Amino acid sequence: MRSPIPDYLAEALRSVQADHSGATADYIPELAHADPDRLAAALCTVDGHIYSAGDAAAEFSIQSISKPFVYALALADRGFDAVLEKVNVEPSGNAFNEMSVEPDTGRPLNPMINAGAIAMHSLVGPPGATPEQRVDRVADGLSAFAGRRLHVDEAVSRSEMSHAYRNRALANMLRAYDIIADDPLVAVAGYTRQCSLLVTAEDLAVMAGTLANRGVNPLTGRPVVSAAVVRQTLSVMATCGMYDGAGDWMTRVGVPAKSGVAGGLIGALPGQAGIATFSPRLDRHGNSVRGVNLFTRFTADMGMHVM
Ligand code: DON
């Protein structure tokens, strides 16, 4: 007998399938060419059950969904004070690629926007880690969250790097304010490799499930980060994870979440489950249109809203 959860997920996918609004990200050519019709949903409970429907095994680049996990690694590696000194935890109300920094210090407003995430990438690993060691720490750390080895999509990474003028501008500003110590181009290259790690909707559900499970991977049983780090990470996801759509998201859907421009979207329900969706067409905030619709429906059907 089929479990009712995959049946429910499959029915939810059918209910959003007709919505073709939005567009794939066009500032990364490799993403603009992605199949816009792919659609998936996956759920990982804190006791390690995975349910999925649609293209749940299709790989796509994690993009900005890497940001909360790298934030968690930086908190674990360097401690809360050292991280907060470089990146604040206030919502910006602006788009993810804006220069949203404090005027006097150049400190990015939060680690979910690009400026904050480029700074965060430079904070993983021990002090003095080389750029290669930081990329390895990110790949190893995100693999621990996913419970399987993740790999960089070199084509996506190259494609983004060849057009990364905005992120290079952000990194130059961060360098001028001494928020990062690296050469700005090296900082952007590392951050771009981070964003190019390939995941499936099921991987993302497990990663979100690890946050929902206080930092212990529900599949492998391995502790990845502490419960205190998870609390800080989920709090920042709740206020900043959906960028300038964060308030609308929190009132409508009501779970800590993070989106990525390849079309992934995660939500974490503390103590219960991680949920992930995948659909590449994006709204004007850079959030997946059908992903937001699916989560809105999950909240209505399952009473997920944390308030
Ligand atoms: O830096 C960038 O612009 C991309 N690598 C990631 C942006 C992103 O995923 C925004 N989220 N929806």
pLDDT in tens, 4-45: 788 999 999 999 999 999 999 999 999 998 999 999 999 999
**Both structure tokens of 248:** 């609308």
Percent of the chain topping pLDDT 70: 99
Would the annotation count 64 as a binding residue? yes
Is residue 243 among the annotated active site residues?
Answer: yes
Give yes or no on whether 4-63+198-302 and 65-195 have one common fold: yes
Residue of 229, 261, 289, 292 marked catalytic:
261
Tokens encoding 142: 């995100």
Q: What is the band of 3 on the pLDDT scale with cuts at 50, 70, 90?
A: low
What average pLDDT score do residues 89-115 get?
A: 96
Confidence at 1, pLDDT banded by 50, 70, 90:
very low
Q: What is the C-alpha R_g of the chain?
A: 18
Domain 65-195 is in which class? alpha beta
- Mean pLDDT for 226-235 is 98
Q: Provide the pLDDT for residue 18.
A: 97
User: With bands split at pLDDT 50, 70 and 90, how would you rate the model's confidence at 114?
Assistant: very high
- Tokens, residue 214: 């206080």
Q: pLDDT tens digit string along 147-192? A: 999 999 999 999 999 999 999 999 999 999 999 999 999 999 999 9
In this structure, how many other beta carbons lie within 10 angstroms of the beta carbon of residue 23?
Answer: 14
Burial (0-12, 13-18, 19+ Cβ within 10 Å), 239: middle
Give the CA dihedral 45, 195, 70, 203, nearest 10 degrees: 20
Residue 67 annotated among the catalytic residues of the structure: yes
Q: Is the CB of 288 under 6 A from ligand 1?
A: no
| pTM, entire model | 0.98
Which pLDDT score is estimated for 307?
87
CA-160 nearest atom, ligand 1: 5
Q: Could you tell me the residue ranges of all domains in the chain?
A: 4-63+198-302, 65-195
**Average pLDDT for 217-235:** 98
pLDDT at 289 over 90: yes
- What is the pLDDT at residue 295? 97
Out of 1.10.150.130, 3.90.170.10, 1.10.340.30, 3.40.710.10, select the CATH number for domain 4-63+198-302. 3.40.710.10
Q: What is the mean pLDDT of residues 200-225?
A: 98
Which tens digit of pLDDT belongs to each residue from 255-273?
A: 999 999 999 999 999 999 9
Pocket test for ligand 1, best of 28, 60, 64 (most atoms within 8 A of CB): 64
Which pLDDT value is given to residue 117?
A: 98
